[in-house]
Amino acid sequence: MAAQTTPSPIKTVVVLVQENRSFDHMLGWFKTLNPEIDGVTGSESNPISTSGPTSTHFTFKDTAAYVDPNPDHSFQAIYEQVSGKPWDFNNPDPNPEIKMNGFVQNAERTTPGLSETVMNGFKPEMVPVFKELVTEFAVCDRWFASLPTSTQSNRLYLHSATSRGAMSNDTQKLIEGYPQKTIFESLEENGYTFGIYHQSFPATLFYRNLRNVKYVDNFSNYDLSFKRDCKNGKLPNYVVIEPRYFDILTAGANDDHPSHDVSEGQKFVKEIYEALRSSPQWNEILFLITYDEHGGFYDHVPTPTGVPSPDDIVSSGPYNFKFDRLGCRVPAILVSPWIEPGTVLHRPSGPHPTSEFEHSSIPATVKKIFNLKEFLTKRDAWAGSFDIVVNRSTPRTDCPEKLAEPVKMRHTDAKETAKLSDFQQELVQVATALKGDPLKVVDNMTVSSGLKYVEDAFSKFYDGGKKAKKINGVDDIVSAVASGAKTSTTFVKNIFS
């Protein structure tokens, strides 16, 4: 039972965060369905060269389908995409003017011809599950990534409203685990429950505290547990669903990361929605679907500046970033029987005049719905909360029970012998810590071997955690028990101390 009561009809918040797509790329053309959506008209363009006034322009198109290769979305690339100026390592400008005119220039610098991919979006009928959800429920057309950088740092903001100064992959910090307090601990402290339903490997293990033995039962295999828990009305107060991040022949990745098939992501969202819709908890659920960052794809809305740093940490060189501006706009869809059909959520009305929707809005909203005692950082205290979308006096009874069937986009096999993406490497690096094997070389792993490694690591972590719960005084040395090595206890104590 929860320790506190709340007037909100929402008792369960469900969050799915997909990978690497901008708002305009996924939902920009939805403006044709609802002109209130701040999407695209087809007049949007970017020049090949921002320094040439007569440069050829690429216009944004509506022919996106299967996307390969993966556009650059590093801090340096995003700097150029949003400002039109290449990043200068020798003389960086910490406060560039935001023009959103450098996407083509950066794409062509990276891979000639890539502009056709970057300046392209999906027609609504190509993503039919999103089309139905946006029509039936709500879309937020002003939700930004928390940082103008890649996956890892943005995913840290999802549940903790800070990256603790991280702007890119830091192997040592991944092995140690990021130490900040998360919304998971806040919920527990206030008597609420949470659950992480994962497929290949949970990225929430980026957080050091979630490697604690006492939380091992909060992790569940999605395929084995999610539909069952929905059917039995056993979903916890806060549900995080993690997709398949690895693309193999027998199970295609469904996280939407290029070059993964977006139709697999559509199937996944459809499956989640239909399980929630049939649950006895349906009238108490608010379901958010968003993306960690824009993945290098074009978006026309300028990225906000002058935002508060969560904890006054400045990143290390060469960026020396002050965490005072957001990343690009990403899709955000909100689903609940308490939402009017066709709702469009724009800029939040508070809590501050400059507040925006960004990933820190997740812990901010969870805090508000469940009346938690305190914010995590200055960032979630500033971010807009999306519970305002719940504005009916009674739940709807006309919500669709089934969604449209997605159309397969990729007609080739999964590239399971390909090298790992940066994000996949980061997941493997976390797995090395769980196995007590931090010196493991991951650079040469393939997608299939990386998946096998992380699944084995999590299995040992989980089984070892179950055993460790029976040992008095054991807390955050799950991997020591899991690894079975004689020296692992000392090793892991050193890592987590």
| Per-residue pLDDT tens over the stretch 95-144 | 999 999 999 999 999 999 999 999 999 999 999 999 999 999 999 999 99
Residue 225 burial (10 A CB sphere; 0-12, 13-18, 19+): middle
Query: What is the spatial distance between Cα 14 and Cα 286, in angstroms, rounded to a whole number?
Result: 6
> Which residue type occupies 446?
T
Closest CA to 64 of 117, 4, 134: 117
Closest CA to 201 of 263, 255, 270: 255
Query: What is the spatial distance between Cα 40 and Cα 42, in angstroms, rounded to a whole number?
Result: 6
Task: Provide the token pair at 116.
Answer: 């056709």
Q: Where are the alpha helices (DSSP H) in 319-421?
A: 361-370, 378-382
Q: Where are the alpha helices (DSSP H) in 402-477?
A: 422-434, 447-468
pLDDT of res. 493: 45
Query: What is the spatial distance between Cα 418 and Cα 226, in angstroms, rounded to a whole number?
Result: 30
Residue carrying the six token digits 């023009």: 99
Q: Where are the alpha helices (DSSP H) in 92-197?
A: 103-110, 115-118, 128-136, 151-160, 171-176, 183-189
Residue 112 burial (10 A CB sphere; 0-12, 13-18, 19+): exposed
Residue 65 burial (10 A CB sphere; 0-12, 13-18, 19+): middle
Task: Provide the token pair at 424.
Answer: 């996949």
pLDDT of res. 497: 36
The answer to whether 319 and 48 have CB atoms below 8 angstroms apart is no
Q: Give me the mean pLDDT over the 82-92 stretch.
A: 93
pLDDT of res. 424: 96
Query: What is the spatial distance between Cα 328 and Cα 348, in angstroms, rounded to a whole number?
Result: 17
> Which residue type occupies 357?
F
- Boundaries of every domain in the chain: 12-389
- How many angstroms separate the first and last alpha carbons of the chain? 33
pLDDT of res. 207: 98
pLDDT of res. 285: 99
Q: Where are the alpha helices (DSSP H) in 237-343?
A: 262-277
pLDDT of res. 483: 44
Residue carrying the six token digits 């929605």: 273
pLDDT in tens, 234-288: 999 999 999 999 999 999 999 999 999 999 999 999 999 999 999 999 999 999 9
Residues with Cβ within 8 Å of 160's Cβ and at least 6 positions away in sequence, in order, are 178, 180, 181, 182, 183, 207, 363, 376, 377
Q: Does domain 12-389 have CATH number 3.40.720.10?
A: yes
Q: Give me the mean pLDDT over the 435-445 stretch.
A: 84
Average pLDDT over the chain, rounded to whole? 93
Query: What is the spatial distance between Cα 275 and Cα 147, in angstroms, rounded to a whole number?
Result: 32
Q: Give me the mean pLDDT over the 343-360 stretch.
A: 98
The model carries a pTM of 0.94
pLDDT in tens, 372-400: 999 999 999 999 999 999 999 999 999 99
Burial readout 346-358 (b: 16 or more C-beta within 10 A, e: otherwise):
eebeeeeeebbbb
Residue 313 burial (10 A CB sphere; 0-12, 13-18, 19+): middle
pLDDT of res. 496: 38
Task: Compute CA distances 77 → 107, 150, 173, 466, whole Å.
Answer: 9, 10, 23, 43
The answer to whether 344 and 361 have CB atoms below 8 angstroms apart is no
